[in-house]
A and B are shown apart, each in its own frame.
Chain A
Amino acid sequence: MTDEPSGAPTDLTDLMTILSHNTIDQLANLPAQDLDKIIAYQRKQRIQREAGGKTKRAKGEGPTIDIKALMAKPQKGPEPVPAQPSPAQPTAKPTSAPPPPGAFIRRFL
């Protein structure tokens, strides 16, 4: 299963073509060989990604960050800032919707 079968799909368009060009019945009876091609393609794509395609692209575009090392450590939040004294608050007033009668009363059967 590691070798790419001949005629394997090469990009998104191919999968979408399989979906759009086949009827439900044709999809339901898709030969095992075609299904294997799709699976092999997904596996090949994964191997390519895991080989580090993204790492290559990031080179020279910014500072290098070791994501794995960062993920292994708990992240620190921002340094605490001393609280400022609060100004005097206005007195609370009742809202227009008083709590309903009987709320939060528990009844056991």
Chain B
Amino acid sequence: MTDLVPSPFISGTLLQFAWDSTSLGYLKTCPRLYYYHMILGYVAKDESVHLRFGGEYHTAIHDFEILRAEGNSFDDALRETLRRLLVRIKDWDPDTSTKAGNYKNPRTLVQLVVDYFDNYRNDKAQTVILANSRPAVELSFQFQLDFAPVNHPTVPYMVCGHLDRVVTINENLFVIDHKTTTTTLGDFWHKQFSPSNQMTLYTWAGKVVMEAEIKGVCIEGAQIGLEDFTTRFARSFAYRSDDLIDEWINDLEWNLNAAEAFAEAQHWPMNDMSCDKYGGCRFRDVCSKNPGVREIYLKSDFIQLPEAERWNPLRNR
């Protein structure tokens, strides 16, 4: 976490030039949320549990795919993936008395990983093998846009991120994105991906990285149950046409111009229509307080990460 990574902000400013779907999502959801998280570096106290769990899950899938591409059998690949997982989580000891830790801990992680590979053992989705014989998993991307901030025209904006996996399904190419959730994988879950900032960006990025026709994103959802730990899996397909992607890129320019205006004014307005989304914004209690006392609540209820540990789209996985 402390590796020297370039700042995503233009030096001496609060203007971000390197964007990923997470930071752009914050900006679009609520500029004040973006300010608290991306600029001030505040995170909820249980955020590290979610990040660790998700990160280990992704790494396990990554390990497994590489092992399979190297010719290992399913059982051997699963065994080795589990071995590496146990080594990584040896000292991970989340507080299981918290909601986050109760759902996401070493036990539920090991169960999820075994369940995942068993569930997709005879999968019709086949991981693409790249020209260098490596499987198309955890593909990092960074590319420059053809526009720049109004007042910094020599620093083009960049778009960055990581594609979990690229697969063929019935001869069509899809980006696969893994998501864990504690909510039901029902109609509401499926509908959230169209329109979706992340899925359009990932389809676009997939086309750029693979130089091929990507149909969209296949979201692999894993629902983690609480009592008698249960895992359920579902796939959702988010298709994106070139016209939809072009529209999204055009809107991106408007959104980034807005981000520049906020940064220049050093004012990130609150979008009070987003506070109840996704189970409620983590900063809702802070924003509901009088402006003069918000900092007190931020400092007591959140952790302010040092700059080197804050979310950075330029950091490699």
Contact = CB atoms under 8 A, between A and B. Distances in A.
A75 interface: yes
Contacts of B150: 102, 105-107
B111 A39 contact: no
A35 B79 contact: yes
B110 A32 contact: no
A35 B83 contact: yes
Interface stretch (B31-39, B85-93, B214-222): B85-93
Interface of A is mostly: helix
Interface stretch (B51-59, B123-131, B257-265, B297-305): B257-265
Given A15-B110, A38-B110, A42-B114, A108 B147 contact: yes
Nearest to A97: B267
Which of under 10, 10 to 19, 20 to 34, or 35 or more describes the interface residues of A? 35 or more
A35 B79 CA distance: 6
Given A42-B115, A109-B153, A32 B187 contact: no
A28 B83 contact: yes
Interface in B65-110: 75, 78-79, 82-83, 86-87, 89-90, 106-107, 110
Interface in B195-233: 227-231
A100 interface: yes
A16 B87 CA distance: 12
Given A24-B87, A97-B265, A109-B156, A16 B79 contact: no
A46 B230 CA distance: 7
A8 interface: no
A92 interface: no
Interface of A: 1, 12, 15-16, 18-20, 22, 24, 27-28, 30, 32, 35-36, 38-39, 42-43, 45-46, 49, 53-54, 71, 74-75, 97, 99-100, 102-109
Q: Which 3 A-B pairs have the closest CB atoms?
A: A103-B261, A100-B265, A42-B114
Given A15-B106, A45-B111, 14 more contacts: A19-B89, A20-B90, A24-B90, A32-B79, A38-B110, A39-B82, A42-B114, A54-B227, A71-B187, A103-B264, A104-B258, A104-B261, A106-B150, A106-B253
